[in-house]
Amino acid sequence: MDGTYSQNDLSHVVEADKAHVWHHLVQHRGFDTKDPNIIVEGKGMRVWNQAGKEHLDAVSGAVWTVNVGYGRERIAKAVYDQLLRMNYFAGAAGSVPGALFAEKLIEKMPGLSRVYYCNSGSEANEKAFKMVRQIAHKRYGGKKHKILFRDRDYHGTTIGCLSAGGQDERNAQYGPFAPGFVRVPHCLEYRAADQGAPTQHYGEWAADQIEQVILREGPDTVGALCLEPVTAGGGVIVPPDGYWPKVQEICRKYDILLHIDEVVCGVGRTGTWFGYQHYGIEPDFVTMAKGVASGYAAIACCVTSERVFDLFRDDASDPMNYFRDISTFGGCTAGPAAALENMAIIEEEGLLENTVAMGDYMLDQLHALADRHAAIGDVRGKGLFLGAELVEDRETRKPVAEAQAQTVTADCMAQGVIVGVTNRSVPGYNNTLCFSPALIATKDDIDQIVSAVDGALGRVFG
Ligand code: PMP
């Protein structure tokens, strides 16, 4: 650490935090006996806490965000310069970095053309939901308004997004939810037997389940299908072969808009600019947030096709006929200024290529780990976005208890490596170790991560 803070300063920070901060995602009773981890500094792949302890971050800031790594001076400088020149103006006004980043982004997304700025993944998804609903009102008398979402997918924390949330334990205490959101089955091949699915052609079968739901609901009531390209928190689920072409075909057949939630996969995480680009599909909406500016500033985007955009300017004489929406902090310029530099770094440092190479290497290492530890039932991943599902028994595939998976991550943490564990979809399924190191990861970093997990599994499962 650079010595900016004295131990006294940091002790005060811990006390202030314990007295006044309500932390995300945690039962605060835990802080009765243990101090919260205050992350004081970060550089590259590593962060330091209040005790000066170094950690290799295998999850890019807890939730798949810091794609280009910590301590990037050129991003900080670009944001600093931009804030002094012009920090904020909202409403119908545009900004210099907003226009330039939109242009760069659209270059990476053939077939799409418009960028709507906001500031969180949840908000970006809400924008797409609202656009779908408005299209339903404009063109179909409100009828084609239903939004399909998939079991185990997550789209955000607002009541609208939770209404489209496929992780039951996150929803359980927050209903009632918004009407018009309908669940379709997940596509996790490892759990196909639980779904009563055939062993052959699982991808086509899983896509067919979507069609069954559409037919049950009535195709003229279904406006959009919202999916993660690779499901993140629901278990790092890489859709099986045969899935995406069928999904695209179904959307075309029933005139259903395809909304891809790239909040996690977007901007390099899977080795392409966007996760959907592995599969040759053509979405109508793509939402993104985390990796867009790697957490250097809050920014999210809802990107649409020109076909969608055109629906909102087809009748200029109608005063209701535009997207009646605003995001106050969609007018912050720090986000697009940081996002421009973030994208330039990915290009100049060849980070997509590195993600593919290091992702393949890590997948191999995790498979080798599975050869040594029976507790690993399944390994899956795309680019630097990987998961290892822990089971009690490989035959029955019974998931390990949530507490056991957490013992593994706590052991890794004690070794100075931060590993994640995904959210369960069904109580008891919180059992997939999750790895999403920054796109700058080297073989040495990956070896250190895998070796920590190796040690932890040995201690926890023997
Ligand atoms: N979509 C996905 C796939 C996510 O993983 C998340 C957040 N983890 C969100 C949306 C919501 O993003 P935010 O927390 O920025 O609202």
Indicate which atom in ligand 1 lies nearest the CA of residue 156.
11
Atom of ligand 1 nearest to the CA of 300: 15
Q: The domain that contains 114 carries what CATH number?
A: 3.40.640.10
Pair (331, 356) in one structural domain: no
Q: How many domains does the chain have?
A: 2
- Predicted confidence at residue 300, as pLDDT, reads 98
The mean pLDDT value for 320-339 works out to 95
CA of 153 to the centre of ligand 1 (A): 10
The predicted model scores a pTM of: 0.97
Closest ligand 1 atom to residue 289 Cα is 15
Nearest CA to ligand 1 atom 5: 264
d(CA 452, CA 449): 5
Task: Mark whether 344 and 354 lie in a shared domain.
Answer: no
Q: How far is the CA of 161 from the centre of ligand 1 (A)?
A: 9
User: 397: CA distance to ligand 1 center in Å?
Assistant: 28
Q: Are 260 and 286 in contact (CB under 8 A)?
A: yes
Alpha carbon of 395 to ligand 1 centroid (Å): 34
| Position 315 confidence tier, pLDDT thresholds 50, 70, 90 | confident
Q: What is the pLDDT of residue 423?
A: 67
Structure tokens at 312: 């909102």
Confidence check: pLDDT of 401 > 60: yes
Name the residue with the closest Cα to ligand 1, atom 13: 121
Q: Whose CA is nearest to atom 7 of ligand 1?
A: 156
In this structure, are residues 419 and 58 in contact, taking their beta carbons and an 8 Å threshold?
Answer: yes
* Beta-carbon contacts of residue 332 (< 8 Å; ≥ 6 apart): 87, 88, 119, 297, 298, 299
Q: For residue 231, which atom of ligand 1 is closest to its CA?
A: 3
Q: Could you say which of 348, 366, 395 is where a domain stops? A: 348
Q: Are residues 328 and 401 in the same domain?
A: no
What is the arithmetic mean of pLDDT over 305-318?
88
- Asked if 372 contacts 379 with a C-beta cutoff of 8 angstroms, the reply is no
Closest CA to 452 of 30, 67, 59: 59
Q: Are residues 96 and 215 in the same domain?
A: yes
Query: How far away, in angstroms, is 267 Cα from ligand 1 center?
Result: 14
Pocket test for ligand 1, best of 65, 154, 301 (most atoms within 8 A of CB): 154
The verdict on 357 and 251 lying in the same domain is: no
| Position 419 in a domain | yes
Query: Who lines ligand 1 at CB under 6 A?
Result: 63, 120-122, 125, 154-157, 228, 232-233, 261, 263-264, 289
Q: 174 lies in a domain? A: yes
Pair 189, 273 in one domain: yes
- 80 phi, psi to nearest 5 deg: -60, -50
- For residue 317, CA distances in Å to 130, 146, 313 come to 21, 28, 10
433 Cα: distance to centroid of ligand 1 (angstroms): 18
State mean pLDDT over 411-440.
86
Residues 98 and 336 sit within 8 Å (Cβ to Cβ):
yes
Identify residue 195 by its one-letter amino acid code: Q
Share of the chain above pLDDT 70, in %: 98
Predicted confidence at residue 320, as pLDDT, reads 76
Question: Side-chain half-sphere of 417: how many Cα atoms within 13 Å?
Answer: 25
| Best residue for ligand 1 mutational test, from 63, 259, 264, 267 (most atoms within 8 Å of Cβ) | 264
- pLDDT reported for residue 69: 98
262 and 402 in a single domain? The answer is no
Question: Ligand 1 centroid vs 45 CA: distance in angstroms?
Answer: 22
Separation of alpha carbons 182 and 256, rounded Å? 14
Q: Report the largest interatomic distance among the alpha carbons of the chain, rounded to a whole angstrom.
A: 72
Q: Are 171 and 155 in contact (CB under 8 A)?
A: no
Q: Residues 335, 367: one domain?
A: no
In the reported structure, the alpha carbon of residue 61 is separated from the centroid of ligand 1 by a whole-number distance in angstroms of: 13
Q: Are residues 342 and 285 in the same domain?
A: yes
Residues 114 and 220 in one domain: yes
- Rounded to an integer, the average pLDDT of 101-116 is 98
CA of 419 to the centre of ligand 1 (A): 18
pLDDT at 1 over 80: no
| CB distance 29 to 18 below 8 Å | no
pLDDT in tens, 203-253: 999 999 999 999 999 999 999 999 999 999 999 999 999 999 999 999 999
Residue 18's DSSP bridge partners are: none
pLDDT score recorded for residue 402 = 86
For position 103, what pLDDT does the model report? 98
Instruction: Answer for the pair 160, 131: CB distance below 8 angstroms, yes or no.
Output: no
Atom of ligand 1 nearest to the CA of 125: 10
| Closest CA relative to residue 166, chosen from 147, 185, 179 | 185
Best probe residue, ligand 1, of 123, 262, 263 (max atoms within 8 Å of C-beta): 263
> Could you tell me if residue 11 is inside a domain?
no
Name the nearest CA neighbour of 64 among 154, 170, 184, 2. 154
- Nearest Cα neighbor of 255 from 361, 334, 144 is 144
pLDDT single digits (tens) 174-210: 999 999 999 999 999 999 999 999 989 999 999 999 9
**pLDDT range class, residue 429, cuts 50, 70, 90:** low
Q: How confident is the model at residue 424 (pLDDT cuts 50, 70, 90)?
A: low
Strand partners, 393: 398
Q: Do 427 and 55 form a contact (C-beta atoms < 8 A)?
A: no
Is the pLDDT at 425 greater than 60, yes or no? no
What is the 286 CA–ligand 1 centroid distance (Å)?
13
Among 314, 348, 382, the domain-final residue is 348
Q: 176 to each of 63, 173, 180, 275, 414, how far by Cα in Å?
A: 27, 9, 12, 32, 40
- Give dist(CA 405, CA 175) in Å, integer: 28
Q: Give a yes or no: residue 308 inside a domain.
A: yes
- Does residue 438 share a domain with residue 404? yes
Last residue of some domain: 329, 348, 367? 348
Question: Apex CA 99: angle with CA 342 and CA 128, to 5°?
Answer: 85
Whether 271 and 229 have beta carbons less than 8 Å apart is answered as no
What does pLDDT average to over the chain?
Answer: 95
Q: How far is the CA of 261 from the centre of ligand 1 (A)?
A: 9
Whole-number pLDDT of residue 319: 76
For ligand 1, atom 10: residue with the closest CA? 155
pLDDT at 132: 98
Q: What percent of the chain is modeled with pLDDT above 90?
A: 92
Asked, for residue 54, whether it belongs to a domain, the answer is yes
Same domain, 215 and 335: yes
- State pLDDT tens for residues 56-76: 999 999 999 999 999 999 999
State which residues form the domain around 100: 74-348
Per-residue pLDDT tens over the stretch 248-271? 999 999 999 999 999 999 999 999
What are 148's two structure tokens? 């399909």
Q: What is the pLDDT of residue 317?
A: 80
